[in-house]
Amino acid sequence: MKTETTVQGLNASLTAARLGRKTIGLVPTMGNLHSGHIQLVQEARRYCDLVVVSIFVNPLQFGVGEDFDRYPRTLDEDRKLLVDASCDILFAPTVDQMYQQWPQATLVTVGGLSEELCGAHRPGHFSGVATVVSKLFNIVQPNLAFFGEKDYQQLAVIRRLTADLCFPVEIIGVPTIRAADGLALSSRNAYLSPEDRSKAPLIYQTLNWIAAELLAGSREYDNLSAKAVATLKSQGFEPDYVEIRSTDLLHPESTAKEWVILVAAKLGQTRLIDNLLVNIGKDPELRSKRPVSASRKA
């Protein structure tokens, strides 16, 4: 595995693959890798000739009072995991490499999708995501890019961004990886105290309770959300929201047959997010379709 820390070096490493019309896959991360990230790399490995993983703690994604300075930076350990996962190139740029002038003057904003849910509680966050992903798409020029479905709203923002700006990139959502007790894997789980870690699976249990109610015929969306919020509060969580939406993140109609249930809640000093896809006639946790372009790899 090569490690590149500059845009120039990365371009040099990708030249042969581009000239050979190889399928390039990109997995953008902020490091502190866990099994969920490695699943993204493995999916990229299945469908691409060359896999690039970026590790960049993006300052644009962090608001005032958020955890940019204390966000875990574990590059040496991450590098070992990526070698084991057969990553071809690790791109680990500095802030100066990604943003030649700071603060960044040009920002990318995806209207509509970015203002609600997490966007309402983290102003500017999705503009930071959209800006850095746009830069990575321009730098790497991937054919496919892989993102976890745990960050459902982020995935929706990136899909819209890619379509609206005509990036020639296929976006692949990869299902959430969970611990044995149901907690969605996240780099921020490391912040949880032992006591809070024991409580954290209640988020997934709450999602499954709402899913069961929907599958049983309930369409009292606001009432279900309110009960879920009360349950989380009773166990020490500070919920930002529990929302039942259609899969395009609009509010569902009473005749809806497919939903995504989304939650964000603080537990101690740690903000956790999760979601669950539900479809009448199918079990929760719908799986993403495999990429149409997968056949491009021999």
Q: What residue spans define the domains of the chain?
A: 2-177, 187-279
pTM recorded for the entire structure:
0.93
Measured distance CA(168)–CA(237) in Å, rounded: 41
Q: What is the pLDDT of residue 170?
A: 98
Mean of per-residue pLDDT scores for the chain: 93
Q: What percent of the chain has pLDDT over 90?
A: 88
Question: Which among 61, 135, 56 is positioned nearest to 90, based on CA atoms?
Answer: 56
Active site annotation includes 34? no
Q: What is the Cα 130 distance to its own chain's centre?
A: 12
| CATH superfamily of the domain spanning 187-279 | Pantoate-beta-alanine ligase, C-terminal domain (3.30.1300.10)
Name every residue whose Cβ is closer than 8 Å to that of residue 229 and which is 6 or more positions away in sequence: 239, 242
One-letter amino acid at 293 equals S
Measured distance CA(110)–CA(121) in Å, rounded: 16
One-letter amino acid at 187 equals S
- 254 versus 268: which is more confidently predicted? 268
Measured distance CA(178)–CA(159) in Å, rounded: 24
Pairing of strands 238-245, 258-267: antiparallel
The residue from 34, 37, 125, 251 that is catalytic is 37
Instruction: Find residue 273's DSSP bridge partners.
Output: 264
The CATH T-level fold of domain 2-177 is Rossmann fold (3.40.50)
Say yes or no: do domains 2-177 and 187-279 share a fold: no
- For residue range 144-194, list pLDDT tens digits in order: 999 999 999 999 999 999 999 999 999 999 999 999 999 999 999 999 999
Measured distance CA(275)–CA(68) in Å, rounded: 24
Instruction: Assign 3-class secondary structure to the chain.
Output: CEEECCHHHHHHHHHHHHHCCCCEEEEEECCCCCHHHHHHHHHHHHHCCEEEEEECCCHHHCCCCCCCCCCCCCHHHHHHHHHHCCCCEEECCCHHHHCCCCCCCCCCCCCCCCCCCHHHHCCCHHHHHHHHHHHHHHHHCCCEEEEECCCHHHHHHHHHHHHHCCCCCEEEEECCCECCCCCECCHHHHHCCHHHHHHCCHHHHHHHHHHHHHHCCCCCHHHHHHHHHHHHHHCCCEEEEEEEECCCCCCCCCCCCEEEEEEEEEECCEEEEEEEEEECCCCCCCCCCCCHHHHHCC
Pairing of strands 50-55, 24-29: parallel
- For residue range 204-259, list pLDDT tens digits in order: 999 999 999 999 999 999 999 999 999 999 999 999 999 999 999 999 988 889 99
Q: What is the pLDDT of residue 144?
A: 98
One-letter amino acid at 65 equals G
One-letter amino acid at 251 equals H
Name every residue whose Cβ is closer than 8 Å to that of residue 298 and which is 6 or more positions away in sequence: none
Q: What is the pLDDT of residue 281?
A: 75
Question: Which among 127, 119, 125 is positioned nearest to 243, based on CA atoms?
Answer: 119
Question: Which among 89, 87, 92, 59 is positioned nearest to 74, based on CA atoms?
Answer: 92
Q: What is the pLDDT of residue 64?
A: 86
Q: What is the pLDDT of residue 254?
A: 86
At residue 297, does pLDDT exceed 70?
A: no
